[in-house]
């Protein structure tokens, strides 16, 4: 897996991702404690609203940024977004009102919504071989897991020495270091930017491709299961640890770290597993595990049976199932789009997958505050179960897709039919393996 780090450009981009995500993980812990400091037992409601605002930015800013990104070189765009995120992180320790948290989260996540799809669409061009790209996806998943493993562990150590406000300083440093690493490499160039309606048509094609391809429709449902479980973990860990179990703020970081351990274990095992199993055979069962985990949490909370060890074990299981779904996602999107359409496809993936959180974060936050964490867990379990049960229907074992011959550049007629069906035009921009 580490062999792909020999590629200098990818190595620098991966390092930038790791450092930025460590900083983001510190901010996640600090934001939870800030919300608890401002709202006490209703911290979940504050976090639920803040994270719903984050998803609004992802849902609407992501496609807009993709449509406009053609005017800027990729490196310039990514560096500008890193600097913007660093500025917001620097301001967060000084907030005194809940509404200020909401405003800063909106700006921070708008910048992330522009940065992340651009980054994701760059990697398959830097590593064109599928074997290398699969390894890069696992490494990328490991990097994301640092947000919920290494960062909470680091946060727990820092909280023993300083106040939580200082964790935001680490976030600022992480984003600035990411910007420096991105500047240090030359990235693949973009196609000449489209103008006017063509630019918006390109963005719309990403959504159309996502919604007409069976495997991507199934993926969208698996993201719903992920959204249900992740919302429960991110929003209510601080409430479960400090209010339900009566433990310290440092234990919040430990619980989030357990979730990261599970996800990291999945990312480490998947490259070998995906050589013997299809993406579908890995991701659909993982969705069922997420639903089962939330059902178990509901039962434990309803019966007042939840203990510290049980919470940690359950978070490990939920993290592993989440990693099993998120790690292969880039493979599915890459196989379903041409090189020219990958930025739009990844932007659609980014927006649609995060759109589910607009429902699950408020449920996890506000419903837990008003009706209790057991009720919130029960509703989220129903959502995850519905997604897990409908996933195999949307993503059948034998997909309806373009003929296999369409993967060959020699079969131009088959490719033309496929592109006309999906995109609504006849021009073939490259090969696709739907």
Higher pLDDT, 133 or 282: 282
Residue 404: pLDDT band (50, 70, 90) is very low
Return all residues near 100 (Cβ < 8 A) that are at least 6 apart.
none
Token pair for 381: 């379990």
Distance CA 128, CA 326 (A): 20
**pLDDT (0 to 100) of residue 377:** 93
Return the pLDDT at 427. Answer: 36
Residue 364 DSSP class? I
Tokens of 45: 């409601």
| pLDDT tens, residue by residue, 329-377 | 877 887 777 766 666 777 677 777 877 888 898 888 888 888 889 999 9
Spatial CB neighbours of 387, under 8 Å, sequence gap ≥ 6 = 221, 222, 224, 225, 228, 287, 291
Q: Identify the band that residue 414 occupies on the pLDDT scale cut at 50, 70 and 90.
A: very low
- Angle subtended by helix axes 98-126 and 342-355, to nearest 10: 140
pLDDT of residue 211: 75
pLDDT digits (tens, 9 = 90+) for 247-291: 877 788 788 888 888 888 887 888 788 888 888 889 999 999 999
What is the C-alpha separation between 355 and 234, in angstroms, rounded? Answer: 16
In Å, how far from its chain's centre is CA 168?
21
pLDDT the model gives residue 320: 92
Place of tokens 């409908």: 390
Identify the weakest region by mean pLDDT among 48-62, 274-288, 400-414. Answer: 400-414
CATH 2.60.120.680 for the 2-185+195-400 domain, yes or no: no
Q: What number of other Cβ atoms are within 10 A of residue 33's Cβ? A: 21
More confident residue, 409 or 22: 22
pLDDT at 422 (0 to 100): 42
Q: What percent of the chain has pLDDT over 70?
A: 75
Considering only residues 159 and 282, tell me which one the structure prediction assigns the higher pLDDT. Answer: 282
pLDDT of residue 180: 92
126 pLDDT more than 60: yes
Closest CA to 24 of 124, 92, 123: 92
Asked whether the predicted pLDDT for residue 141 surpasses 70, the reply is no
Whether the pLDDT of residue 424 is over 70: the answer is no
The CA distance from 230 to 252, in Å, is 15
Kindly give the residue spans of alpha helices, DSSP state H, lying in 40-129. Answer: 43-69, 74-91, 98-126
Domain boundaries in the chain? Answer: 2-185+195-400
Higher pLDDT, 393 or 121: 393
Please compute the mean of the pLDDT values over residues 38-47 and round it to a whole number.
70
> What percent of the chain lies above the pLDDT cut of 90?
16
Q: What is the mean pLDDT of residues 197-211?
A: 64
What's the confidence (pLDDT) of residue 389?
Answer: 94
Average pLDDT over the chain reads 77
99-111 pLDDT tens trace: 888 888 888 878 8
Q: Higher pLDDT residue, 25 or 178?
A: 178
Query: How many Cβ atoms sit within 10 Å of the Cβ of residue 26?
Result: 29
User: At CA 297, angle to CA 158 and CA 285, rounded to 5?
Assistant: 100
């Amino acid at each position: 897996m580490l062999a792909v780090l020999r590629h200098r450009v990818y190595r620098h981009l991966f390092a930038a991702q790791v450092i930025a995500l460590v900083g983001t993980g510190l901010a996640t812990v600090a934001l939870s404690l800030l919300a608890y400091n401002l709202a006490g037992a209703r911290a979940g409601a504050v976090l639920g609203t803040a994270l719903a605002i984050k998803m609004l930015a992802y849902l609407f800013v992501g496609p807009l940024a993709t449509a406009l990104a053609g005017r800027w070189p990729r490196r310039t765009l990514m560096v500008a977004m890193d600097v913007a995120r660093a500025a917001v992180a620097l301001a967060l320790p000084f907030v005194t009102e809940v509404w200020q948290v909401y405003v800063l989260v909106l700006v921070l996540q708008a910048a992330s919504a522009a940065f992340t799809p651009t980054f994701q669409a760059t990697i398959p061009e830097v590593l064109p071989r599928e074997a290398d790209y699969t390894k890069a996806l696992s490494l990328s998943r490991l990097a994301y897991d640092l947000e919920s493993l290494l960062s909470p562990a680091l946060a727990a150590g820092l909280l023993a020495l300083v106040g939580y406000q200082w964790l935001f300083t680490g976030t600022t440093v992480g984003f600035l270091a990411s910007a420096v690493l991105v500047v240090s490499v030359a990235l693949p160039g973009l196609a000449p930017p489209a103008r006017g309606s063509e630019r918006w048509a390109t963005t719309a094609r990403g959504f159309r491709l996502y919604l007409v391809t069976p495997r991507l429709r199934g993926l969208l449902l698996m993201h719903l299961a992920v959204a249900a479980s992740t919302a429960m973990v991110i929003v209510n860990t601080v409430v479960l640890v400090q209010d339900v179990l009566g433990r310290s703020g440092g234990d919040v970081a430990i619980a989030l770290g357990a979730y990261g351990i599970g996800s990291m274990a999945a990312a480490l095992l998947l490259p070998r597993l995906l050589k013997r199993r299809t993406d579908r055979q890995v991701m659909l069962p993982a969705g069922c595990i997420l639903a089962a985990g939330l059902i178990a949490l509901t039962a434990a909370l309803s019966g007042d049976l939840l203990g510290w060890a049980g919470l940690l074990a359950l978070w490990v299981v939920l993290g592993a199932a989440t990693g099993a779904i998120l790690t292969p996602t880039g493979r599915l999107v890459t196989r379903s789009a041409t090189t020219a359409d990958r930025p739009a496809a990844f932007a659609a993936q980014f927006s649609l997958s995060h759109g589910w959180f607009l429902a699950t974060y408020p449920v996890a936050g506000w419903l837990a505050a008003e009706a209790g964490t057991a009720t919130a867990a029960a509703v989220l379990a129903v959502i995850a179960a519905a997604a897990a049960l409908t996933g195999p229907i949307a993503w059948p074992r034998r997909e309806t897709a373009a003929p296999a011959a369409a993967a060959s550049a020699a079969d131009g007629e088959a490719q033309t039919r496929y592109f006309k069906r999906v995109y609504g035009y006849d021009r073939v921009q490259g090969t696709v393996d739907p």
